[in-house]
Chain A
Amino acid sequence: MRLAWPNLSERRLTTMAWISAVVLVAASAALGLRAEVAFRRDLTSQTNAQADILASSLTAALAFDDLLAMEQYVQALRANPRLSAAAVYDAQGRELVGLHLRHMRPPPITIGPVRTEWTDGRVRATRRAAEQGQTLGYVFMETRRDSWSAILGRHVGVGLLTLMGLILMVLVSSAAAKLQARASELAQANARLTEEMGARAQAEEALRQSQKMEALGQLTGGIAHDFNNLLQVIMGALELIGRKASDTPRVQVWARHGLAAAERGASLTRQLLAFSRTQKLDLRPFVVADLVTGMRELLQRTLGGAIELVLDLDAARMPVLSDHTQLELAILNLAINARDAMPEGGRLTISTEIVTVAPGHPLLPPDDYVALSVTDTGQGMTPEVIGRAFDPFFTTKSVGKGTGLGLSQVYGVARQAGGEARIESRPGGGTTVTVLLRRSLEPAAVGVSAPGPEAVVAPSAGATVLVVDDDEQVRTLLHETLQLLGYRVLDADGGAAAIRFLQAGRPDAVLLDFAMPQMNGAQVADRARQLWPDLPIVFASGHADTAAIQAAVGEDAPILRKPFELDLLARTLSSMIGRSVAAERAASRARGEVG
Chain B
Amino acid sequence: MARTGPAEVGRAAALLLTLAGPAQAHMSDLKLAVKAAYLCKLGPFVAWPAAAFGTAEDPLVICIQGADPFGRVVDREVAGRRVGTHPMVVRRILRLERGSGCHIAYVAGSGSQSADQALAAVDGAPVLTVTDSDRGPAKGVVHLVLDGGKVRFAINAAQAQADGLGISSKLLALAVGASR
Cβ of B106 < 8 Å from any Cβ of A?
no
Would B174 and A133 count as touching, CB distance under 8 A? Answer: no
- Is A61 an interface position by the 8 A CB rule? yes
Max count, chain A CB within 10 A of own CB: residue among B152, B168, B170, B174: B170
A64 lies within 8 A of B44 (CB): no
Q: Is A515 an interface residue (CB 8 A)?
A: no
Given contacts A63-B41, A72-B180, A134-B44, contact A57 B174 (CB under 8 A): no
Q: Quick one: which of B44, B84, B153, B173 has the most chain A CB within 10 A?
A: B44
Cβ A60 vs Cβ B168 within 8 A: yes
Let me know if A133 and B38 touch, CB within 8 A.
Answer: no
Residue of B nearest to A61 (CB): B174
CA distance A132 to B171 in the complex (A): 14
Is residue A66 contacting chain B, with contact meaning CB distance below 8 A? yes
Q: Mark B108-135 against chain A: 1 for CB-CB distance below 8 A, else 0.
A: 0000000000000000000000000000
B residues 69-106 in Cβ contact with A at 8 Å: 81-85
Quote the shortest CB–CB distance from B165 to chain A (angstroms). Answer: 15
Against B, the Cβ 8 Å flags (1 = close, 0 = not) of A125-139 are 000000111101000
Binary contact track B141-173/A, C-beta < 8 Å → 1, others 0:
000000000101100000000000000101101
> Is the interface on chain A under 10, 10 to 19, 20 to 34, or 35 or more residues?
10 to 19
Assembly CA distance A423 to B38 (angstroms) = 140
- Checking A59, A63, A134, A136 against B82 with a beta-carbon cut-off of 8 angstroms, the contacting residue is A134
Residue A114 is within 8 A (CB to CB) of chain B in the complex: no
Give the contacting residue for A69; candidates B44, B45, B83, B180; CB below 8 A. B180
Contact of B170 among A59, A65, A133, A134 (CB under 8 A): A59
Complex contact B83–A64 (CB within 8 A): no
Bound-state CA distance A268–B8 (Å) is 164
Q: Is B59 located at the chain interface by the 8 A CB criterion?
A: no
Are B173 and A63 in contact, with the CB atoms below 8 A?
no
B170 A57 Cβ-Cβ under 8 A:
yes
Taken together as a complex, chains A and B put the C-alpha atoms of A133 and B45 apart, in Å, by 11
B137 in contact (CB, < 8 A) = no
B140 proximal to A (CB < 8 A): no
The answer to whether B180 and A131 touch across the interface, beta carbons within 8 angstroms, is no
Contact flags A68-101 to B (C-beta < 8 A → 1, else 0): 0100100000000000000000000000000000
B45 pairs with A134, CB closer than 8 A: no
Chain B: interface residue total (CB-CB under 8 A): 20
A110–B173 CA distance with the chains assembled, in angstroms: 27
- On whether the beta carbons of A60 and B174 are closer than 8 Å, the reply is yes
Q: Who on chain B is nearest to A63 by CB?
A: B41
List A residues 509-542 near B (Cβ within 8 Å): none
B66 within 8 A of A: no
Query: Quick one: which of A24-61 are within 8 Å of B by CB?
Result: 57, 59-61
Are B41's CB and A69's CB within 8 A?
Answer: no
Q: Is the CB of A132 within 8 A of B38?
A: no
Contact between B180 and A132, CB atoms less than 8 A apart: no
Chain A residues whose CB sits within 8 angstroms of the CB of B83 once the complex forms: 132-134
Q: Which residue of B lies closest to A134 (CB)?
A: B44
Question: How many angstroms from the CA of A330 to the CA of B161 in the assembled complex?
Answer: 150
Give Cα A370 to B43, complex, Å. 145
Residues of the A chain whose Cβ atoms lie less than 8 Å from the Cβ of B150:
65
> How many pairs of A and B residues are in contact by the CB < 8 Å rule?
51
How near does chain B come to A63, taking the closest CB pair, in angstroms?
4
Q: A134 to B173, Cβ gap below 8 A? A: no
CB distance A132 to B174 under 8 Å?
A: no
Contact A64-B84, Cβ < 8 Å, known A69-B180, A134-B44? no
Considering residues A61, A64, A131, A134, which has the most beta carbons from chain B within 10 angstroms of its beta carbon?
A: A64
Give B166 Cβ to nearest chain A Cβ, in Å.
13
Complexed CA–CA distance, A131 and B150 (Å): 23
Nearest Cβ distance between residue B136 and chain A, in whole angstroms? 22
- Given known pairs A72-B180, A132-B84, A133-B84, the reply for A60 and B171 (CB within 8 Å) is yes
CB-based contact B180/A63 at 8 Å? no
Interface centre among B41, B83, B85, B153 (most CB of A within 10 A): B41
Query: Across the interface, do B174 and A59 meet the contact criterion of CB distance under 8 Å?
Result: no
Cα separation A59 to B83 with both chains bound (whole Å): 14
Enumerate A358-383 residues with CB–CB distance to B below 8 Å. Answer: none
Asked if residues A134 and B180 are in contact (CB atoms below 8 Å), the reply is no
Q: Which residue of B lies closest to A57 (CB)?
A: B170
Q: Is the CB of A60 within 8 A of B84?
A: no
Q: In the assembled complex, which residues on chain B have CB atoms less than 8 Å from the CB atom of A72?
A: 180
B174 contacts across to A, CB distance below 8 A: 60-61, 64, 66, 69
A250 to B44, CA, bound (A): 171
Are B44 and A63 in contact, with the CB atoms below 8 A?
Answer: yes
Rounded to whole angstroms, the CA-CA distance of A61 and B118 in the bound complex is: 29
List chain A residues, Cβ under 8 A from B173: 60, 69
A59, B174: Cα distance in complex, Å: 11
- Assess the A131–B82 pair: CB atoms within 8 A: no
Q: Which residues of B contact A63 (CB under 8 A)?
A: 38, 41, 44-45
Interchain CB contact under 8 A, B180 and A64: no
Docked complex Cα distance between A61 and B174 (Å)? 7
Greatest chain B CB density within 10 A among A59, A63, A133 is at: A63
Q: How far is the CB of B64 from chain A (nearest CB, A)?
A: 19
Instruction: Give per-residue flags for B31-49: 1 if the beta carbon is below 8 A from chain A beta carbons, else 0.
Output: 0001000100101110000
- Least CB distance from B111 to A in Å reads 32
> In the complex, what residues of B have CB within 8 A of residue A133's CB?
44, 82-85
Chain B hits for A61, CB < 8 A: 170, 174
CA distance A204 to B131 in the complex (A): 131
B-contact 0/1 string along A240-266, CB 8 Å cutoff: 000000000000000000000000000
Q: How far is the CA of A66 from the CA of B180 in the complex (A)?
A: 12
A57 to B: closest C-beta gap in Å: 7
CA distance A63 to B84 in the complex (A): 15
12 intermolecular pairs with C-beta atoms under 8 Å apart: A59-B44, A60-B45, A60-B174, A61-B170, A63-B41, A64-B38, A64-B152, A69-B173, A69-B174, A132-B83, A134-B44, A136-B41
Which B positions have Cβ atoms within 8 angstroms of A?
A: 34, 38, 41, 43-45, 81-85, 150, 152-153, 168, 170-171, 173-174, 180
Given contacts A63-B44, A133-B83, could you give 10 more A-B pairs where the C-beta distance is less than 8 Å? A60-B45, A60-B170, A64-B38, A64-B171, A69-B180, A72-B180, A131-B44, A133-B44, A133-B85, A134-B41
The 6 tightest CB contacts between A and B, nearest first, are A60-B170, A132-B44, A131-B44, A63-B41, A132-B84, A132-B83
